[in-house]
A and B are shown apart, each in its own frame.
Chain A
Amino acid sequence: MVRTIHGRSEERLAYWAMVLPAVLLYLLVLGFPIVISIILSVSNYNGGKMFGGQPWRIVGFQQFERLMRDSFFWAALKNNIYIVLVSVFGQLPLGFIFAYLIYRRIVKFGDFWQAVLYMPNIISVIVIGIMWAIIFSPNGLIAEIMNRLYASSISHQITQIFNAAGGFNITDDVVRQLIHASGPVASQTFTDPPTELKQLILTYDPTKLEVLKHDLVNLLGAKWTPTFLTKPDVAMLPVLFVILWCWTGLYLILFLANMQKIDAQIIEAARIDGASEGQVMGRVVLPSLSGVIVNAAILCIAGSLNSFALVFAMTRGGPARVTELLSIYMYDAAFFGTPNYPLANAIALSIVFLSMILIVLTKLVEKRYGGRE
């Protein structure tokens, strides 16, 4: 009996000896910052030496109250929710479907597609952000293509108008036709389009009709500028697209690796029993991976709420803060202008709090509807 107690005591001692360093390290690198963050969020600390510097004190939940009234916080939260939705209901289903297509060899060259879809994951997100920012820029690739299409269209109309007029024959009717061809552009450029446009055209050398036509294309052609991407809500679309493009491959790999662990005989048996590919996917593979899906969803949610680098590199939350996320708001509160550390920490804690709620919800859903692996 004594020997047993002694043995248990030794066992407990050995257990603590092995676990304690890790626990202490964990508390030091994770627990301590969390505690400090909680303290700062309810303090009036506004920079400088934290211990032994200017006095600061606990002032309560002022910053959390401020957040509740802060339109920037709600706008940023809404953008984060968009990312969560795209991640959970975009990346995961797409990743799953792509993985299934490759796993069941429904598409050819599975390895190739796997590599292509995973490729964005091996590129720095900063590089990806900058690359897509350039593509979506008013002087970027999309704008260039669209402007060439617009120019081509109006160039054709202008040529027809001058051909019908017999060359440099600038009548009121020709000017009216040019204005009509330009749509709203002429009235945006001139106060009195018929008079001002005619005056401008008449300053050109009649022998240089091609120069005039070229300039009229510049002057009257519509310009594709991505101003629609500056409107609240819509502005997030390119960001969401890039997020989907960037990380779907990660979940593809995750799901594919787990699908390969499923006993092939089960699937074969289902197929022999007459199950279609859709039924195999929905009733055999999907339930088998429910645990993986939940873990992937947790990764998705946590990643979405603290996503920062990609959006920061791509838009920096702008223009006019329409693509701001909670993490960018937190960063700005801490490091931009006069730092507001309590506010920044309150935002950080709200991210943690939201993550916890969403993860608990995910677990509940899995418990209620999930299958057994």
Chain B
Amino acid sequence: MKKTLFLALVLVLAMLVPMTAMAQATPLRFMYYIDASQAGYAEDQAIWQKFKDDNTDIDLQMEILFNQPFHEKLGAYIAAGNIPDVIYMWPSSRSSSAILHQMHLMKDLTPLLGKTFLSNFVAPAVNPKAQASGYLAELPQSITYTTVMYANKKLLADNGFGLPKTYADLKAMVPRLKAKGIQVITLPDGDGWQMQSCLFSTVVGRMLGDGWVDQVKTGKVKFTDPRYVAALSFIDTTFKDGVIPRADVQLGYGDGPTLFASGKAAFIIDGDWRQGFYLTDKSTGQALIDPAMQGTDYAFINFPAIPGEKNPGVVSAIAGVGLGISAAIPKGSDREKAAVRLLKYYYSPEVQQIKLETGAFIPSLKGVTSDKLEPFTQMMPKYYAGINRISYVLDGVLDPGVCNNFINKGLQDIGLGNKTPRQVAADTEKAMADWRATQ
């Protein structure tokens, strides 16, 4: 009888101990964004598993979504007043992040993470003015350069060309490359944002400058300004010269890397984030571009000199995505401490090194490096080093309605030959005037 009683007691205790531990664990809801089919997903999941293993006092409840479903779900959470404790978010008015910024639904990370911690990041990443809310609502994990010209050096050399210095050099490549069935540049713009984000923002930065963009927001200058029309006309010229085929306006974003990697295009213009797409997927051992050829046959270069540019060498860049903490968490609570611990873990050199190695991004955390990097990831910091000045990415600073519906669409119309640069400029100014009236 005593033996039975003892065993029952042990059983009850064995059940109670984990229950007590569970009860003490601080629940932390975390909404995270990643494509489960991309290379590096397994490594990413291992990062979060390690956090769970090392922090048993935190009950991490992760919700992982990607692309539009992420924004829709977050939008629903926001509308219900039930946002997760930690959120993967954008610094600008990108979809669901717009409301998080506008309504100050996220905490200012500066006091929470502390100046010492933040001093480890490159200055543009911790610049509060780079965020739509005007404070550090999320900590950008990288600085995103939106115009990188990925060049196939070997293909160019095989056809008697070197890397281009001016736009005229690009134009001169058209006949010979076309004869070989190769297009000069691919810039698939079927989704509408690529031309604006990956080329036109740089063109505006070079031909007009950030000061002009600031002025157009206040109405001191207008989109019908001949200098802006000239910037649009340059895009028109790239299509007319055959440097970018008009058919690219009908291609989806995913079509570009395939064309480039298969040697059907000598260059692809894309953001720096895209370098990870060409790396080896550890789960399959396959790479879109063989690592053995990445360093020897390819180069990342700045877009060549544009006729009429007043800011040579400028490239559009913006603070990258990152994690933010919900303002609904009570100050000084266990949940707040758990959220801060999660962020400090994510932005630790160890985790950022893994992200670098998987080609996810080039971290904004200073000094992160690795000896396991494929050539493309090693080449990107060298590309950054060659950039002296950066400019706005237009969709990061202008009203999303004006940008999506008139600038992005207008650039597509120019590419398709449906509208002239002057018409697009006039349409954009009309929409901008309506927007200014509401401010």
Residues of A within 8 A of B (CB): 46-54, 72, 133, 137-139, 188-190, 196-197, 200, 215-216, 218-219, 223, 225-227, 229-232, 316, 318-321, 332, 334-340
Q: Is the CB of A320 within 8 A of B105?
A: no
Q: Which chain B residues lie closer than 8 Å to A72 at the CB level?
A: 405
Encoded as 1 (CB less than 8 Å from any A CB) or 0, chain B from 92 to 116 comes to 0111001100110100000000000
Contacts A218-B180, A337-B400, A339-B98 given; does A318 touch B103 at CB 8 Å:
no
Q: Is the CB of B412 within 8 A of A339?
A: no
Q: Is the CB of A219 within 8 A of B255?
A: no
Provide a sorted-by-A list of 10 A–B residue pairs whose CB atoms are within 8 angstroms.
A47-B75, A47-B79, A47-B103, A52-B81, A189-B175, A190-B175, A215-B180, A218-B180, A337-B93, A337-B98
Q: Which chain A residues lie closer than 8 Å to B93 at the CB level?
A: 337-338
Number of residues from B at the complex interface, CB < 8 A: 50
Residues of B within 8 A of A (CB): 68, 71-72, 75, 78-81, 93-95, 98-99, 102-103, 105, 174-176, 178-181, 189-192, 242, 245-252, 255, 259, 399-401, 403-405, 409, 412-413, 416-418
Closest to B404 in A: A337
Q: Is the CB of A49 within 8 A of B81?
A: yes
Q: Is the CB of A47 within 8 A of B78?
A: yes
Q: Give Cα distance in the complex from A190 to B93, angstroms.
A: 43
Q: Is the CB of B250 within 8 A of A219?
A: no
Q: Give Cα distance in the complex from A138 to B249, angstroms.
A: 10
Q: Give Cα distance in the complex from A188 to B95, angstroms.
A: 41
- Pick from B78, B245, B400, B404: contact of A48, CB under 8 Å: B78
| B interface: dominant SS | helix
Q: Is the CB of B242 within 8 A of A138?
A: no
* Nearest CB of B to A345, in Å: 12
Closest 7 CB pairs of A and B: A337-B400, A49-B81, A138-B247, A215-B179, A320-B412, A47-B99, A219-B179
Q: Is the CB of A319 within 8 A of B250?
A: yes
User: What number of A-B contacts does a CB cutoff of 8 Å give?
Assistant: 134
- Pick from A50, A137, A190, A340: contact of B79, CB under 8 Å: A50
Q: Is the CB of A200 within 8 A of B404?
A: no
Q: Is the CB of A225 within 8 A of B242?
A: no
Q: Give Cα distance in the complex from A258 to B255, angstroms.
A: 47
Closest to A220 in B: B179
Q: Is the CB of B250 within 8 A of A138?
A: yes
Q: Which chain B residues lie closer than 8 Å to A49 at the CB level?
A: 78-81
- Pick from A139, A319, A335: contact of B75, CB under 8 Å: A335
Q: Which chain A residues lie closer than 8 Å to B252 at the CB level?
A: 133
